[in-house]
Structures are given as C-alpha cells and as structure tokens.
Amino acid sequence: MKSNEKCTLCGGSIEQVFLPMKEWGIDGPLCGKCYSKKLAEFYPGKHERVNLSE
C-alpha cells in the first residue's frame, strides 16, 4: 500500500515510511533513499544488510 506522504528531504512520494533519528534534526517522514543517505552520513563505513530471521 502506497502512502500519500511526501519525503521531508526530497519531496518525493513515499512507498515505505522511514522516521528520522532524533540526532538528525529532521522533523517528518523520509523515503528509503533519503533515509539510507542519512544513515551513511551519520554512520560512515561499509554497511551490509543482514537477514536476522534465518
């Protein structure tokens, strides 16, 4: 189900809503792309997705 919300940073439509961390100083929802960019800014280095359910 697609959300009608717009990303606070890029203004694009949001398919999956991500909420920013408090230390980012952003008030409003983020799209996945902007959330990933912010994660990389605040936590530099190599990031690997891990499926913990296995």
* Whether 34 contacts 9, CB under 8 Å: yes
Q: Residue 47: what pLDDT?
A: 62
> In the structure, what pLDDT confidence band is assigned to residue 33 with cuts at 50, 70 and 90?
very high
| Residue ranges per structural domain of the chain | 1-44
pTM of the model: 0.73
Q: Residue 2: what pLDDT?
A: 58
If we measure between CA atoms, which residue out of 34, 38, 36 comes closest to residue 49?
Answer: 36
**pLDDT one-digit tens code per residue, 6-28:** 999 999 999 999 999 999 999 99
Q: 39 phi and psi, to 5 degrees?
A: -60, -45
Q: 25 phi and psi, to 5 degrees?
A: 70, 30
The strand pairing partners of 30, in sequence order, are 18
Q: 18 phi and psi, to 5 degrees?
A: -120, 135
